Structure 1
Amino acid sequence: MEMSNYNFTDTQKESCAVSLMRDTIKELALRDTISYEDALLRFTNSKVYETLFDYDTGIWRESPDYLLNLYDYCNSKKTA
């Protein structure tokens, strides 16, 4: 069965998104040598956080590395 043909419920999508967010925040904290709480605040104040929980984007299906790269990309594109 192809994943694209399976209809995930919003509850399943949310569960995946939350798990992915937790893993990504752990990686961010380790990489930047900051506390989990600081990493959580940084992440939840980013556009990536909003996008992750917009289930139509499908980002909830990705890996922590993908999400962290997207987070870095979005933060590098901030303009004054």
Structure 2
Amino acid sequence: MLNELIFFEVRIFRMFCEKLQVSSADTNKLFETYGVWKYIEDTYDMLSLSSDECAVNDIVEMLKINGVKLEGVVCNKLEAVTDKSTEQERFCADLILTDAIMDMADEEGISWQETRHKILNPEAYKALYDFEAGLWETGPDYFRYFYKTCSINESKL
């Protein structure tokens, strides 16, 4: 069953990365350092009532209030996706990442928050949202395998 909170976090995370042109690793560090993950979890009921774009803008404002310099940020509405298939691909990739987080947490016996932190591996995340590569079409099990392969290769460096 889909965990709506995790799915919401995944969407907001992706949109934040896209809006600010920041890597998943840097965004994850930023979210951890400034309590953005906790903020999303604590205010999910309220944040989910408005659009995802409003939630991203709330997070940008929260970070600015905390003194984070977000270079070149335009706090207007996110650019509308004109290609419906691109938005569908993003949605599918978000679902895969959500399911992978939940499945990996169960498999490893750790919290989904710990799993989220681990699975936002820069190479795996980047590949999932590279729609020409097609990883988004394979499902959460293959994505977890791909993530593990990336993690093994990184540890060899």
TM-score, length basis structure 2 = 0.44
Q: Secondary structure at the match of 1:54?
A: coil
In 2, are the aligned partners of 1:46 and 1:71 still within 8 Å (CA)?
no
Structure 2 spans left out of the alignment, 5+ residues = 1-83
The 5 A counterparts of 1:21-60 are 21-60=97-136
Q: Secondary structure at the match of 2:132?
A: helix
Structure 1 partner of 2:145: 69
Of the two structures, which has the highest relative contact order with CA contacts closer than 8 Å and spacing of 6 or more?
1
Q: Secondary structure at the match of 1:55?
A: coil
Structure 1 spans left out of the alignment, 5+ residues = 1-7
TM-score, length basis structure 1 = 0.82
Task: Give the Cα–Cα distance (whole angstroms) in 2 for the partners of residues 24 and 30 of structure 1.
Answer: 10
**Structure 1 ranges of 4+ moved more than 3 A:** none
Computed over aligned residues only, the root mean square deviation of the Cα atoms, in angstroms, reads 1.3
Structure 2 partner of 1:11: 87
| CA displacement 1:35-74 (0-9 Å, x = unmatched) | 1111111111341011101111111101211111111111
Task: Give the Cα–Cα distance (whole angstroms) in 2 for the partners of residues 37 and 60 of structure 1.
Answer: 22
Task: Give the Cα–Cα distance (whole angstroms) in 1 for the partners of residues 92 and 102 of structure 2.
Answer: 16
